Chains A and B, each alone.
Chain A
Amino acid sequence: MINPVPPAFIFILGAFLVPFLKGRLKQAYLLLLPLLGFIDLFLLNMGSEWEIRFLNYDLVLLNVDRLSLAMGIIFILVGLLAILYSLHVKEDGQHVAALLYMGSSLGVVFSGDYFSLFFFWEIMAVASAFLIWYRKEKSSLDAGFRYLMMHIIGGGALLTGIILKIVSTGTIAVEPLTAGLASSMILVGFGLNAAFLLLHTWLPDAYPEATVTGSIFLSVFTTKTGVYALARSFSGNELVAYMGGAMALFGVIYALLQNDTRRLISYHIISQVGYMAAGIGVGTALSINGGVAHLVNNLLYKTLLFMGMGSVIYMTGKRRLTELGGLARKMPVTCITCVVASLSISGAPGFNGFVSKGMLLSSMAEANYPLLEWMLRLASVGTFLSFTKICYFTFFAKNDRIQAREAPLNMTLPMVAIAFLCLLTGIYPGFLFTILPHAPAGYHAYTLSHIIGVFQLFLWAGSVFILARGAFSPHSWTILDFDYFYRRSFQWAGGFFTGPLNEWRLRIQTRSSIVVNRLILLSRNPLGFLEKAEGGNVRVYDENFYRKPMGLGVLLAILLLFLYSLIYLISS
């Protein structure tokens, strides 16, 4: 009988062997690790295992239930396809970082306590930063540092919350949290990874700057572990629900304004995570199922979109919509798979997004959240428009100058596989329903009104796109996000520290030096110092001049001894 191990160990320990392997053997080994991960998942039993006593607390490294198992399956499946996509990468460091990142994400998913969760959470942050830095351009280096800094701040908030929770409740188990300072700090930590509004700026800043293959891994793990953590601890939290609605809308509006293909998709991650957060925040069985179903679907089509745009960048060297166009005939497989992903994310009938979006919208109405329902409806329109924009301007718009050919097989193969999975889970959602946390799912996606409704939405939004195409055309500009305020604050803080604050420091230092010099003078020649203060001439210190006769001291000692004896005699 083989005992299962926490799946995180397979990837984290496995990562350290990568630099010792070469060529085909290394490629085979990279593909073997997720397969081992799958075998390990099949061996897992429901419940808690791998409990370790540490500082009088029980650390649970393997907490298995329907939700963690569903996350484990989809993480390893998409991770396998992402590894296949990145097999051509020569740098071992990229593979090591990707495996550490994947392993630590699985560590977060299967952690049964906040200590272990925090430990893996931090490995995730550091490992993923390397996937940005490996692009080795100045913009990547800067974006990677900003990314890491934000995640360190989030990690600090999370750790503070965990410590406060332990102090107030005495337990470290991952469990639903109620209101309070501890839970607020933990929410900030989780919210930063889930790209909550105002905490989201690291995502569209860093993901487009990562390596082509690195951005695939980034799109899979960080935000999704954030959503998973929210599902564990903040299910049914109204703040999370409305935050989700706001994210869904903000993400699509900003996506529509982008020129950089990967930045456009990055803003869509915020929007799609918003859908999931809304479902989790509403907290009913259908909404949580919808949120998790959307997470699984999103992992598929979002990974596919990053792969598609990654292939375009890899083959053309261009990443801006203003420079692209006319690739439909030159890269047909990439074009078809990107259209499948776009239809999936837009929620077209027959594609997986149709099912999970329907679940979420129905759950909002059933749980009496009309505002959220409208926010998500409007976000659906924006999603359709922005993917019409990205597909049109990348593949179908006229551009005779562009040179490209189809991406290599190791890149197109996982794209075709994911496109197939998008269709499979869309046509037969039963696959998806079996892994959702609340069984049975009890949702019928394919009703006539739902199908016709989606077609109406597409056709009318599409008509506006055709009529006002100029308004949706890409432009070579940067759209300022909230990071403008962060950057300005840090610039101001930097200017303040090097300017006025430094001047004050110099002044204080000068004054202190004067005081210290005077104290030195005082200690050298105290009486001379006093004479100077009185306006007299300062004599050079001569110990023979100041020394008093010894007899005076002896006389004083005798007098004091006499007084002491007298007092002693009287008192006794």
Chain B
Amino acid sequence: MKKTLRAIFFILAGLSVLPGFFMDHHPVLFWWHGIPSLDAAVGGLGAILLMITMKLIASFASKKEDFHD
């Protein structure tokens, strides 16, 4: 069940990219607004970027819970 749900989620994510190629973004104020399915890229790459930043901060800023005491 869990695996099926996961598979459906990934298929939906893949399919969600398609409408971007048949749809205009109005208004195109910067050049990147014209990139098809930009939000999918922002979602995926942004999540990876945030994850890396998180790990980086955690590597030097994580302490035991009673650190301040």
Contact = CB atoms under 8 A, between A and B. Distances in A.
B48 to A, nearest CB: 6
A382 B50 contact: yes
Given A253-B50, A449-B23, A471-B54, A480 B43 contact: no
Contact of B23 (A448, A454, A465, A466): A448
A501 interface: no
Contacts of A453: 38-39
Contacts of B19: 452
A449 B24 contact: yes
B1 interface: no
B63 A480 contact: yes
Nearest to B62: A477
B57 A253 contact: yes
B36 to A, nearest CB: 10
Interface string A451-486: 011111111111111101001100111111100000
A468 B13 contact: no
Interface string A247-272: 00000111011000000000000000
Contacts, number: 127
A453 B43 CA distance: 10
Interface string B34-53: 00011111111011111101
B67 to A, nearest CB: 5
B43 A456 contact: yes
Contacts of B16: 452, 455-456, 459-460
Nearest to A477: B62
A479 B47 contact: no
B42 A457 contact: yes
B51 A468 contact: yes
B6 A461 contact: no
A452 B20 contact: yes
A485 to B, nearest CB: 12
Contacts of A478: 62-65, 67-68
A453 B20 CA distance: 8
Contacts of B57: 253-254, 257, 479
Given A370-B30, A378-B49, A463 B39 contact: no
> Which residue among B40, B62, B64 has the maximum number of chain A CB atoms within 10 Å of its CB?
B40
Interface residues of A, number: 45
A392 B57 CA distance: 23
A168 interface: no
A133 B21 CA distance: 56
Contacts of A365: 29-30, 33
A357 to B, nearest CB: 12
Contacts of A378: 42, 46, 49-50
B64 A461 contact: no
Contact of B37 (A373, A456, A458): A456
Contact of A464 (B24, B44, B63): B44
B9 A461 contact: no
> Which residue among A455, A456, A465 has the maximum number of chain B CB atoms within 10 Å of its CB?
A456
A480 B57 CA distance: 9
Contacts of A256: 50, 54
B25 A456 contact: no
A452 B39 CA distance: 9
B63 A456 contact: no
B65 to A, nearest CB: 5
Interface in B3-27: 6, 9-10, 12-13, 16-17, 19-20, 23-26
Nearest to A382: B50
29 contacts: A252-B50, A253-B54, A253-B57, A377-B46, A378-B46, A384-B43, A448-B23, A452-B16, A452-B20, A453-B38, A457-B43, A457-B46, A459-B9, A459-B13, A460-B43, A462-B9, A464-B43, A464-B44, A464-B48, A466-B9, A471-B51, A471-B55, A475-B62, A477-B58, A477-B63, A479-B58, A479-B62, A480-B62, A480-B67
Given A471-B54, A478-B65, 17 more contacts: A253-B54, A254-B57, A256-B50, A378-B42, A381-B46, A384-B43, A385-B50, A448-B23, A457-B43, A459-B9, A460-B16, A466-B9, A475-B62, A477-B62, A479-B57, A479-B61, A480-B67
Interface of A: 252-254, 256-257, 365-366, 368, 370, 373, 377-378, 381-382, 384-385, 447-449, 452-466, 468, 471-472, 475-481, 487
